[in-house]
Chains A and B, each alone.
Chain A
């Protein structure tokens, strides 16, 4: 595939359940980002990786949120004990690397609904 892919596209979880959201970046992209987009809002930064190193996780809202990218390619965002306020679209983006002109390419997002 040519673009960033995310799965699942839609996820419904009952409050208290754990969920795992997957992101497949564009092949060869060094940097990978996770953003959270609440309804009617702009995306908010959660965390970012360069290869397998998590360089910034300052946006993760609580210790229930955990992200990993163990082999520097696919990334998983895990949310433990989901709460209703976790309902949002989770966007993944990737870029060639830290060069200043490198564009971030976004995936279609995963819409998480917590009931």
Chain B
């Protein structure tokens, strides 16, 4: 079974600064997908960014980028130019590339933005 570990329960960053959230995972599969989801206090989970394991190039979405290290099974999220609206819980998630679409989530990191 796959596991996802987020070792930082809480992080804080000054507005406009850069912050990196860590995620490691364990799997015996060679092909899979990794995701970062954001969950604001309103509770609705929103996809931030995704990475296909077969792609060597790190995914980027505007101010959000990942550092995917397949051999180390590491998948960190970098948020540049942090904004007040970035404050939320961030969850790392894993999905097999096989037929089962279910997501396996980490325990989350609560990100606080300091004005």
**B100 at interface, CB cutoff 8 A:** yes
**A18 at interface, CB cutoff 8 A:** no
Main secondary structure of the interface of B (DSSP, over half): loop
The answer to whether A95 and B44 touch across the interface, beta carbons within 8 angstroms, is no
The answer to whether B105 and A44 touch across the interface, beta carbons within 8 angstroms, is yes
Cross-chain pair count, CB within 8 angstroms: 61
The answer to whether A33 and B43 touch across the interface, beta carbons within 8 angstroms, is no
**A104 at interface, CB cutoff 8 A:** yes
List residues of chain A with CB within 8 A of the CB of B76.
Answer: none
Return A61 CB to nearest CB of chain B, in Å. Answer: 15
Interface residues of A in 31-67 (CB under 8 A from B): 31, 33, 35, 40-45, 48, 55-56, 59
Instruction: Write out, one digit per residue, whether chain A residues 92-115 have a CB within 8 A of any chain B CB (1) or not (0).
Output: 010100101111101111000000
Q: A43-B45, A103-B47 are in contact. Are A56 and B107 (CB under 8 A)?
A: no
Name the one of B52, B100, B102, B106 contacting A42, with C-beta atoms under 8 angstroms: B106
**B99 at interface, CB cutoff 8 A:** yes
Residue of B nearest to A58 (CB): B102
